[in-house]
Amino acid sequence: MSKLIKPESYHSLLDLKQTELGIKKVKDFFQTTLSSELRLRRVTAPLFVLRGLGMNDDLSGVERPVSFPIKDMGDAVAEVVHSLAKWKRVTLAEYEIAPGYGIITDMNAIRADEEMDNLHSLYVDQWDWERVIQPEHRTVEYLKKIVTRIYSAILRTEFYICETYPQLQPFLPEEIHFIHAEELLQRYPNMTGKERETAICKEYGAVFIIGIGGKLSNGEEHDMRAPDYDDYSTVAENGLAGLNGDLLIWYPILDRAIELSSMGIRVDKEALLRQLKLSGKEDRKELYFHKRLLEGSLPLSIGGGIGQSRLCMILLNKAHIGETQSSIWPVEMRKECAEAGMTLI
């Protein structure tokens, strides 16, 4: 397993029982803290949605959703969700959530095409959240304000867990650094996107990269995004496009950058039409979700996902995501992990 990172002399600071208790403490404390910080109410979410409604998230556009026919519905095809980016916005409308308030839910998914390593698993669990905003909130400054609140909730959770388990040491910086993907490209012009993330995270410890999905000056995207949820094409006052981004931290145990959250201000009608045209996917205008957005029956919103197992992994000082979630792993990887002190659940 060439992609497996095996930290030298690694051993878990928590045994299996402490780890299981720690996972629950992280999840309970962070969800309560974030819900209070952003004024989110918990809702129940689906594990799968019907194909053909435009409700599933197609991520970068190449991942295959796990699907199955429904016998009692004439073999209509259901797809296991990749994320709830679009479903949440419809739910905001159905629950008639007021501006300044939102929803949060547990999202569980299967990503069969994932390449497994220390951070990636077939099983994905995250907090999916969405908040109603006003037209004047569709700015980079508002995006930064929400990101800062989320990072504050992460810091408070880290303090709580380190107080609970004194053998764990805090490592996150007090503040998060903001940089646009274009500025990052100009700073490190000879690096790939992932190499640029590594460099900037190693320097600042916690970074939010703005403008993920739109083309940069080199003709490439920093990373791929579906065209119908995050707004990555609206040009801000600084002349740079993008009202979305990724939150990453530098993780000393693995000596690498880790993405904890992808989020952003969502497309309005104009941004949706623009991004569908740019991506050559204008046929989506006929799908249920897209029709509702274009007719104006969905609220303006900001939202994203925050990895549950990843947050537990870093706050409990683990070296492999399999130490904080139960999943399927290649036999050889399990063997290598065991030899390296990583006990996979």
Paired sense of beta strands 40-42 and 67-70, if any: unpaired
Question: E-assigned strands of 5-53?
Answer: 40-42, 48-50
Question: E-assigned strands of 34-118?
Answer: 40-42, 48-50, 67-70, 76-80, 102-110
Distances (CA, A) of 330 to 217, 236, 320, 327: 40, 45, 14, 10
DSSP string, 164-225: HSTTS-----SS-EEEEHHHHHHHSTTS-HHHHHHHHHHHHSEEEEE--SSB-TTSSBSS--
Residues with catalytic roles: 57, 111, 126, 246, 259, 262
Question: E-assigned strands of the chain?
Answer: 40-42, 48-50, 67-70, 76-80, 102-110, 123-132, 177-180, 206-210, 244-251, 256-265, 301-307
Distance between CA atoms of 269 and 206, rounded to whole angstroms? Answer: 33
Distance between CA atoms of 245 and 197, rounded to whole angstroms? Answer: 12
Nearest Cα to Cα of residue 197 among 225, 221, 222, 232: 222
Contacts of 335 (CB under 8 A, 6+ apart): none
Q: Would you state the structure tokens that stand for residue 81, as one six-digit string?
A: 């969700």
Distances (CA, A) of 334 to 117, 127, 196, 250, 344: 11, 27, 31, 25, 7
Contacts of 308 (CB under 8 A, 6+ apart): 27, 106, 125, 126, 127
